[in-house]
A and B are shown apart, each in its own frame.
Chain A
Amino acid sequence: MVKKLDKTDVVIIGSGWAGGITAAELTKKGHKVVILERGKAKDQSDYVGTKDELRYSLRYDLMQDLNKETITSRNGLGETALPVRGNDNARLGTDTGGAGVHWNGISFRWLPYDFEIYSKTVERYGKDKIPHDMTIQDWGITYDELEPYYDQYEKTAGISGEENPIGPPRSNQYPNPPLKSTPTINLFKKACESLGYHPYHLPSANVSQTYENPDGETINGCMYCAFCEEYGCDFGAKADPMVTVLTTAEKTGNLELRNNANVTRVAHDGKRATGLVYTDTTTGDVYEQPADIVVLAGFVFTNTRLLLLSDIGKPYNPKTGKGIIGKNFTGHFTNISTYIGARGFFEDKRFNLFMGAGALGATIDDFSGDNKDHKNLDFLHGFEVHYSQLGARPIANNQVPKGTPKWGKKFKENSIHYYNRNLFITPQTGFLPNKNSYMDLDPTYKDDLGNPLLRVTCQYKEQDRKRARSGIAKCKQIMEEMGADIVDVDEVPDDANFNHKFYTDHFFGGAIMGGDPDTSAVNTYSQMWDMENLFVVGGSSFPHNSNYNPTETIGAFAYRAAEGMNRYLSQGGGLLTQEERVKKNA
């Protein structure tokens, strides 16, 4: 028995950055907003005193527990997918603030190349440069069009940064100066400079000084306490949805945030979404929340699964290449990106590696996107190479030089000796979509309510391995220049394939954007082409994955989507963009 509730202006799934930004911008304009968040209620006081590595980094206290629902995963169309059963292999955000709470705070803008990747690749190298099974496409928007929204997000989150010497144009400087530097960051930057590269501090949402954002919310200055990644901030010094946009929305009196509300369907009549159907997980009761606008602002997997379960849009079929929902699954995967690289061991130096912050570090953009000429390279897109001083917590940091046993006397000796004597450089690589990497519903496994789980199929292509190897080689070069006594590098074997680790939290696709309804689910306002009062916001709308962390780009598109929703409500409906540029690899 579904109980129908009173209608609201806007109903949103998820209280992370995408849902939070949308809620803030709509409530500020006087619209009534309900957020349905399936996770627990949290506020800043939940994060005081949480410097507990076991609880948060090993037992994943802030992550979605998987006992009621998970995803399944496989490498190819012929394989049986297995469920991802534990958080060791999937760190997905949940609770108030979503994945926006446990992030490191690295806040890149993506490149002009990313948004026009098909056109710019063809223009520079010709159509033959693109493999036949690579499904890259233009996003239907340019960097210049997106720039004001980037600027708006950076001001909201108080991003602390240093000008990227070879970065795309900006309308304003970062609202805060960069974080402090450390001896190891200086060492990295110096090595990069002597090799002719262009290092700069990672742009950070760990804010460098106490800051009041344009909405009047205060973010405190970072303490460099080393408990950032996987943790809520003890000091309110990391921009997250709670200290910014959710507070802003709440102050208007127009927001109702309902926790423990697990949405199972989008209610619709085929043309318009009429509301969201959810289960109150504290009682088991089922409700329908009607609204004029319905917003899916969950994680990639949530958004894609709900579209498929609700029978909205045409599911992607990898055999025919037709259909759109579930298409272009991409991500940062641990065996070809972000967790591979070069590790240097220093005999005579002892660094204060137990200090740090999530986004404390430096990077180079010399090999990002298409910054380097790919004419003589056998892959497209690139990597940013960064060193970051996260804060080496002791359970997770027992690195030893290759050849040391993994346990026993020598292991203990070396893991203690090198604890403050080893540095790691990693390439974060782009990942371009292919025809066989997509999402659909699993035929076997179900959640605790009896609904099919989402199934992820992911296959690496030769380009993905080559890009990763090229990135590792750069890491090795820089680490040697930094003067490490031992440099160990990771390898990407010829048969490296997706390892079923959903560990980086950077995953994309499923409801991709574009200018053409045949090859995109949403337009650049994240509005569904087929159902104009349904907006699908977040990483699910990205047609490919750049070599950068995604949060700031998710934030920018959320601001654009919210602007579109406000316009939609004031003009009484209609599509917010015309069908336009049709540039893709068909």
Chain B
Amino acid sequence: MAGDKHSKDGGTHDESRRKFIKNTGMVAGGVVGGSLLGGLFTSQLTENQDTQTKSGHKEANFQEALQFFTRRDDFNVLQAATERIFPKNDHGPGAIGLGVPYYIDKQLAGLWGINGRDYRHSPFMPQTQKEVPNPELHPEQSALNRGLIFIHGLRRMNEESQKRFNQRFDEAEEDQQIEVMQDVEHDNVKMTGIAPSDFFFLLRQATLEGAYSDPLYGGNKNMEGWKMKNFPGAQPSYANVIEQDEFVQMEPISLTDYQGN
């Protein structure tokens, strides 16, 4: 069965990934080195350990480079923030381990990042305060597109961290990162063009998407997000089991397998 093949590969990937995360100290704070060197170092390690497949071939991972972000610093803040939203725990990997930051980078590089499906005619009436009459409208009333909202929001979090703790956001302590993020979530910092809470709404949504969308989008690595929840992916049918009382555990099926039959 198609699902079996993937779960075996997945197991191998998962193990090496965890080792890697431990070895590089990413586990506790989700902290990643901020320098270019750090980035290159990460890639090399990833390739060495992350690509050993069951059959013994080495397959390089060519999907984890930046499409949207241009400053590594912005991406580092993103990595740390997503890991705070969805941290590694006993259930399984956190946002970084699941590939969520790369998922978000890919999404921002595409239609979603430029609000390609949205009505974008002016006049815009951005809502930067909580007491606006239409709080349900969320980030869509901003003149900024989602890509710019992310860049503004991540830099704003970094500025706040440097101001308060004299540390880059991604190098600050976990508690300090959480403090900044809570203040963004509750509009206790200022931003122009969009309410901080609306940026945070997008950041949280995108993080969950990256954790649980089909792996074809670059997140939910090895379907580890689904495995944590016992979600079996693209199963063709539950007609034979839906009536039964017992909880059913199944190996997940990705769209790659489902469509490739």
Question: Which positions in A face B, CB cutoff 8 Å?
Answer: 49, 51-54, 58-60, 65-67, 69-70, 75, 79-80, 82-89, 180-183, 221-227, 234, 350-352, 354-356, 393-395, 398, 406-409, 411-413, 416, 419-420, 444-446, 499-501
Within 8 A of A (CB), among B174-210: 178, 181, 185, 204, 207-209
Q: Which 3 A-B pairs have the closest CB atoms?
A: A355-B238, A65-B117, A51-B234
Q: Is the CB of B125 within 8 A of A82?
A: yes
Give the residue among A49, A60, A395 with the most B Cβ atoms within 10 A: A395
Q: Does B213 contact A (CB under 8 A)?
A: yes
Q: A51-B234, A51-B258, A394-B226 are in contact. Are A412 and B89 (CB under 8 A)?
A: yes
Instruction: Give CA–CA (A354, B84) in the complex, Å.
Output: 27
Instruction: Give CA–CA (A5, B85) in the complex, Å.
Output: 58
- Of all chain B residues, the one with the shortest Cβ separation from A70 is B119
- Of all chain A residues, the one with the shortest Cβ separation from B116 is A67
Q: Could you say which residues of chain B place their CB within 8 Å of the CB of A444?
A: 123
Instruction: Give CA–CA (A180, B85) in the complex, Å.
Output: 39
Hey, what's the 0/1 contact readout for B84-127 against A, CB within 8 Å counting as 1? Answer: 11110101001000000000000000011001111111010100
| A–B Cβ pairs within 8 angstroms, 24 of them | A49-B259, A51-B258, A52-B255, A54-B214, A60-B117, A65-B117, A65-B118, A67-B118, A82-B134, A82-B137, A85-B115, A183-B244, A352-B248, A354-B232, A356-B238, A394-B231, A395-B208, A398-B208, A407-B204, A412-B91, A419-B230, A420-B229, A444-B123, A499-B136
B149 to chain A, nearest CB (A): 13
A201 to chain B, nearest CB (A): 13
- Of all chain B residues, the one with the shortest Cβ separation from A334 is B136
Instruction: Give CA–CA (A500, B238) in the complex, Å.
Output: 37
Instruction: Give CA–CA (A84, B140) in the complex, Å.
Output: 8
Instruction: Give CA–CA (A39, B237) in the complex, Å.
Output: 30
Name 12 extra pairs, CB < 8 A, besides A52-B234, A87-B118, A225-B237: A52-B214, A53-B214, A59-B112, A66-B117, A82-B141, A89-B137, A221-B239, A223-B237, A224-B237, A408-B85, A409-B89, A416-B228
A189 to chain B, nearest CB (A): 14
Q: Is the CB of B91 within 8 A of A420?
A: no
Hey, what's the 0/1 contact readout for B218-254 against A, CB within 8 Å counting as 1? Answer: 0000000110111111111111011111011000000
Q: Does B156 contact A (CB under 8 A)?
A: no
Hey, what's the 0/1 contact readout for B152-173 against A, CB within 8 Å counting as 1? Answer: 0000000000000000000000
Q: Could you say which residues of chain A place their CB within 8 Å of the CB of B258?
A: 49, 51
A352 to chain B, nearest CB (A): 5
Instruction: Give CA–CA (A69, B118) in the complex, Å.
Output: 9
Q: Does B150 contact A (CB under 8 A)?
A: no
Q: Could you say which residues of chain A place their CB within 8 Å of the CB of B259?
A: 49
Q: Could you say which residues of chain B place their CB within 8 Å of the CB of A51?
A: 233-234, 255, 258
Give the residue among B91, B134, B238 with the most A Cβ atoms within 10 A: B238
Q: Is the CB of B138 within 8 A of A225?
A: no
A500 to chain B, nearest CB (A): 6
Instruction: Give CA–CA (A54, B239) in the complex, Å.
Output: 24
Instruction: Give CA–CA (A70, B123) in the complex, Å.
Output: 14
Which of A70, A225, A395, A500 is the one whose CB lies under 8 Å from B235? A225
- Of all chain B residues, the one with the shortest Cβ separation from A497 is B133
Instruction: Give CA–CA (A51, B225) in the complex, Å.
Output: 16
Q: Does B75 contact A (CB under 8 A)?
A: no
Q: Does B212 contact A (CB under 8 A)?
A: yes
Q: Could you say which residues of chain B place their CB within 8 Å of the CB of A69?
A: 119
Instruction: Give CA–CA (A500, B136) in the complex, Å.
Output: 7
Q: Is the CB of A79 within 8 A of B133?
A: yes
Instruction: Give CA–CA (A356, B115) in the complex, Å.
Output: 32
Question: Which positions in B face A, CB cutoff 8 Å?
Answer: 84-87, 89, 91, 94, 111-112, 115-121, 123, 125, 133-134, 136-138, 140-141, 178, 181, 185, 204, 207-209, 212-214, 216-217, 225-226, 228-239, 241-245, 247-248, 255, 258-259
Q: Could you say which residues of chain A place their CB within 8 Å of the CB of B89?
A: 409, 412-413
Q: Is the CB of B121 within 8 A of A352?
A: no
Q: Is the CB of B212 within 8 A of A66?
A: no
Q: Is the CB of A419 within 8 A of B255?
A: no
B47 to chain A, nearest CB (A): 27
- Of all chain B residues, the one with the shortest Cβ separation from A227 is B234
Q: Is the CB of B229 within 8 A of A416?
A: yes
Instruction: Give CA–CA (A298, B189) in the complex, Å.
Output: 45
Q: Could you say which residues of chain A place their CB within 8 Å of the CB of B213?
A: 52-54, 58, 395
Q: Is the CB of A85 within 8 A of B228?
A: no
Instruction: Give CA–CA (A124, B225) in the complex, Å.
Output: 56
Q: Could you say which residues of chain A place their CB within 8 Å of the CB of B138?
A: 88-89
Q: Could you say which residues of chain A place their CB within 8 Å of the CB of B245?
A: 183
Q: Is the CB of A224 within 8 A of B212?
A: no
Q: A52-B255, A224-B239, A407-B86 are in contact. Are A354 and B214 (CB under 8 A)?
A: no
Q: Could you say which residues of chain B place their CB within 8 Å of the CB of A59?
A: 111-112, 117
Q: Could you say which residues of chain B place their CB within 8 Å of the CB of A52?
A: 213-214, 216, 234, 255
Instruction: Give CA–CA (A85, B122) in the complex, Å.
Output: 11
Q: Could you say which residues of chain A place their CB within 8 Å of the CB of B232?
A: 354
Q: Is the CB of A500 within 8 A of B134?
A: yes
Which of A86, A182, A394, A407 is the one whose CB lies under 8 Å from B117? A86
Q: Is the CB of B238 within 8 A of A224?
A: yes
- Of all chain A residues, the one with the shortest Cβ separation from B248 is A352
Q: Could you say which residues of chain A place their CB within 8 Å of the CB of B85?
A: 407-408, 411
Q: Is the CB of B238 within 8 A of A395?
A: no
Q: Is the CB of B120 within 8 A of A408?
A: no
Q: Is the CB of B217 within 8 A of A67?
A: no
Q: Could you say which residues of chain B place their CB within 8 Å of the CB of A352?
A: 238, 241-242, 244, 247-248
Q: Is the CB of B140 within 8 A of A86?
A: yes
Instruction: Give CA–CA (A547, B118) in the complex, Å.
Output: 31
Instruction: Give CA–CA (A537, B235) in the complex, Å.
Output: 38
Q: Could you say which residues of chain A place their CB within 8 Å of the CB of B118?
A: 65-67, 85-87
Q: Is the CB of A85 within 8 A of B87?
A: no
Q: A66-B118, A87-B117, A394-B226 are in contact. Are A58 and B209 (CB under 8 A)?
A: yes
Q: Could you say which residues of chain B place their CB within 8 Å of the CB of A350?
A: 247
Instruction: Give CA–CA (A351, B248) in the complex, Å.
Output: 9
- Of all chain B residues, the one with the shortest Cβ separation from A395 is B212
Instruction: Give CA–CA (A182, B123) in the complex, Å.
Output: 50
Q: Is the CB of A394 within 8 A of B119?
A: no
Q: Could you say which residues of chain B place their CB within 8 Å of the CB of A354?
A: 230-232
A410 to chain B, nearest CB (A): 10
Instruction: Give CA–CA (A83, B118) in the complex, Å.
Output: 10
- Of all chain B residues, the one with the shortest Cβ separation from A71 is B119
Instruction: Give CA–CA (A413, B239) in the complex, Å.
Output: 30
Instruction: Give CA–CA (A408, B174) in the complex, Å.
Output: 11
Q: Is the CB of B112 within 8 A of A225?
A: no
Give the residue among B87, B94, B242 with the most A Cβ atoms within 10 A: B242
Q: Is the CB of A54 within 8 A of B217?
A: yes
A444 to chain B, nearest CB (A): 7
Which of B204, B216, B226, B243 is the one whose CB lies under 8 Å from A181? B243
Q: Could you say which residues of chain A place their CB within 8 Å of the CB of B115?
A: 85-86
